[in-house]
Structure 1
């Protein structure tokens, strides 16, 4: 829900997304695969070094709980749980955790697998294969399954904000709900990260097979891979403990329940560290399970990691190629209370998957852990990374307290300000207008943050995404409103005090009083 840069918008590093706002205010598994599955150049990475790094990072940054999986070729180097769940239970390699948008690659493999069997045509319009897919836009009749998976369908959050709208209960409801929407762009012309693309793709699986999406994934992907503790949930309410997790604020983590969101197809898979190891191995072996069984056609697996010309996003995977650095194929995922990341290093055969029970922008812990493990895999000492909110939140706290303190001072001196204020409504209005800006910002904070993240949301959701930012904006707006009210009241008293004597003089009788007749 969701993402590396090149990473999908909404999955970028938070510091890059919100800098403008701040300026403004477990076990080795023997190989059972052919020798070609083991990379020729083994990276510098072992269970002990990976485990030590993860424990040190969690202790230093205060992550409540995490699951970590590291594979090399066809071997599991590390599959372990750390810390505890929001319910206080110890996390292990078998603890089920929501993997969020890592689910997209699994949905994509289900579709490409059916395409290899001839049951789905990737380049034939979706509407021809799924008649209920009928947005109120003639261009939608040209959308293909390939475009859904590449996120180039023309559907976008700007036209169909899936996190804001009423949440459906089934994939069919999710597709039918599109009948009143229009596209944001012509199909195939613009890349836009949108969860609904994958909800439609999952419904296409149901239409092609006559089997519920969850059952198809279980029977055709999870069971053959040996992922016995992996399943897909329709909503966050169906996830373990209803996806309860944590958010970060002011250097601490706070337990939070998760609001109900529809997740099927796009970000609904729940898995374990052990099972994710099998998934990563299958990626490096082009669809062969750890037991040597082919689970998916090699071409179907490769296709999910192959973006169209000129793009970096494939079908649930993103290619990250930085100058002088080995290629990384990866994807991030986010719930409001969890975040995740999976990375493949094709040159060394390393796979890494991390899920933490801290959420979205304020957490960003999974990418930090993955980056450190990549450092180890490439023979570098891991840098000491920390969530950007460890630096940003104290700044916001100072700004919030300063705004409140200045407001108290301004309210106390409102009378003095009114006495010195110039005459004329225009001049007074210009002096008060700046205090309206924090109020306007607060009521449009979701729009501003949504513009930066390219995802529409609500004010309530910002209390999950970045609590300290919400508190700063709300506190500053409250302070400004208090000053406006105090100064407005002072001006009114000033006006009444000046108009009182004049009114009394005008009301007094003119000339000598009348003398009554005897």
Structure 2
């Protein structure tokens, strides 16, 4: 019936619908900027940097002939023995190749399947396991460490006041690398953790960043406490197997059982025995794999394997939680990576107006790095078997090309960068991997 009352209500109905659409549009606009995640008691605002579905890729073509020329110069340095490099652009593997030897003067070549140590890149695996268990309701990231019956003690009973998230972001208040020297001397990590209550704090717990290895490995005890399973097995079953990381293992035995594995070298090309100490803190430094599998790990961290590591878990891990003030001598690369912060097992940086996520590692004659741009789903991974730190600077030469920036000699090698015509954007084949293949 079309009475007067009905006629008067229609404008209000239209206005209500329009207002609802405006509010919805505003909400979506805000969603593109940030989102607040309730992390089981810890409110964290996360910038959503990932490109929306169907968004145009804005990365510049990477000239792999030029990158290979730079790597060739790097490998001429007397400190370099073996190296493996991989890249992903826009979610696709573009480059996978090995260089040099698995052991000096052996003639055994490094391939994309040669296994190296990850060193501190292992911390990202521990974070993913713990955050995944938290999302499954097995634990709370806001829970105090005292709840899990671990061997860790802190001054003043601080284990009752610092959380799992504090542990994974190095906010325990301990001096930097507390008692690493004693771990390297052969002392048991559980006994060292039990004695940390006697170490003077460098700041009030949960208030500042101070990098740890022995204390960080408390994460492995937490995982075993809530799962009833060995840490290495949990990491294997939750991450390595579903991601297809067939070469990935935790521990020295896994490294040395690999068909091709890189021996460690120090002081140039002097081979040394594989060190055991940091394998005894597996959450801090226990992972091994080939460069192929490190690419698979980076692929998952850029959101391409939500079946294994969900978008929520990535946001929780990658958000910057605490600034990381510099210590010691800083090179040009460290100065260029600005606003350095730490999340849960990951470092974050600003570089040339872009947000990057990554980590570096160095242990007992090995080096490792991973650095990626989540918005462009592009990044680089490297593994090498010497203590030559200059190799890490290659990562910025990759990103300078990706961002279309002028060439900078980040490696600072004796020979200047070669002038090579830029390659086109089409796929290329390098090493033993075909460009365009996914990282899975």
Q: How high is the TM-score relative to the length of structure 1?
A: 0.60
Partner of 1:231: 249
Partner of 2:216: 198
Query: Residue deviations 1:208-247, cap 9 Å, x none?
Result: 1111111011100011111111111169997879974223
Query: Residue deviations 1:394-453, cap 9 Å, x none?
Result: xxxxxxxxxxxxxxxxxxxxxxxxxxxxxxxxxxxxxxxxxxxxxxxxxxxxxxxxxxxx
Equivalent residue runs for 1:245-256 within 5 Å:
245-248=264-267, 253-256=269-272
When structure 1 is superposed on structure 2, of 252-261 and 125-134 the one drifting more is 252-261
In 2, Cα distance between the equivalents of 1:231 and 1:153? 28
Distance 1:135 1:84, change over 3 A: same
Partner of 1:319: 348
Partner of 2:121: 102
Query: Residue deviations 1:444-492, cap 9 Å, x none?
Result: xxxxxxxxxxxxxxxxxxxxxxxxxxxxxxxxxxxxxxxxxxxxxxxxx
Query: Residue deviations 1:60-98, cap 9 Å, x none?
Result: 566211011101232111122111112632110000001
In 2, Cα distance between the equivalents of 1:379 and 1:283? 24
How far is the alpha carbon of 1:182 from its aligned partner? 5.5
The answer as to 2:358 corresponding to 1:340 is no
* 2:96 aligned counterpart, secondary structure: strand
In 2, Cα distance between the equivalents of 1:37 and 1:230? 33
How far is the alpha carbon of 1:135 from its aligned partner? 3.9
How far is the alpha carbon of 1:347 from its aligned partner? 4.0
Query: Residue deviations 1:105-132, cap 9 Å, x none?
Result: 1111111111111112111111112354
Distance 1:235 1:190, change over 3 A: farther
In 2, Cα distance between the equivalents of 1:62 and 1:383? 22
Could you say which structure has the larger radius of gyration? 1
Partner of 1:417: none
In 1, Cα distance between the equivalents of 2:390 and 2:301? 24
Question: Is this contact kept in 2: 1:71–1:77, CA < 8 A?
Answer: yes
The answer as to 2:169 corresponding to 1:150 is yes
Distance 1:201 1:185, change over 3 A: same
Question: Is this contact kept in 1: 2:179–2:192, CA < 8 A?
Answer: no
* 1:224 aligned counterpart, secondary structure: coil
Partner of 1:214: 232
Distance 1:90 1:173, change over 3 A: farther
Query: Residue deviations 1:338-389, cap 9 Å, x none?
Result: 1111101234321111111121xxx11331221222222223464444479x
CA RMSD of aligned residues (A): 3.2
Distance 1:242 1:135, change over 3 A: farther
More helix by share: 1
In 2, Cα distance between the equivalents of 1:61 and 1:368? 17
* 1:353 aligned counterpart, secondary structure: strand
* 2:395 aligned counterpart, secondary structure: helix
The answer as to 2:274 corresponding to 1:261 is no
Partner of 2:398: 373
The answer as to 2:307 corresponding to 1:294 is yes
Distance 1:52 1:294, change over 3 A: farther
Q: Aligned to 1:357, which of 385, 397, 400? A: 385
Question: Is this contact kept in 2: 1:236–1:242, CA < 8 A?
Answer: no
The answer as to 2:129 corresponding to 1:125 is no
Question: Is this contact kept in 1: 2:394–2:411, CA < 8 A?
Answer: no
Q: Count the aligned residue pairs.
A: 343
How far is the alpha carbon of 1:38 from its aligned partner? 7.7
Q: Aligned to 1:67, which of 63, 84, 92? A: 84
Question: Is this contact kept in 1: 2:251–2:287, CA < 8 A?
Answer: yes
Q: Which runs of 5+ in 2 are unaligned?
A: 1-50, 325-340, 415-440
Q: Aligned to 1:306, which of 303, 319, 331? A: 319
Partner of 2:58: 41
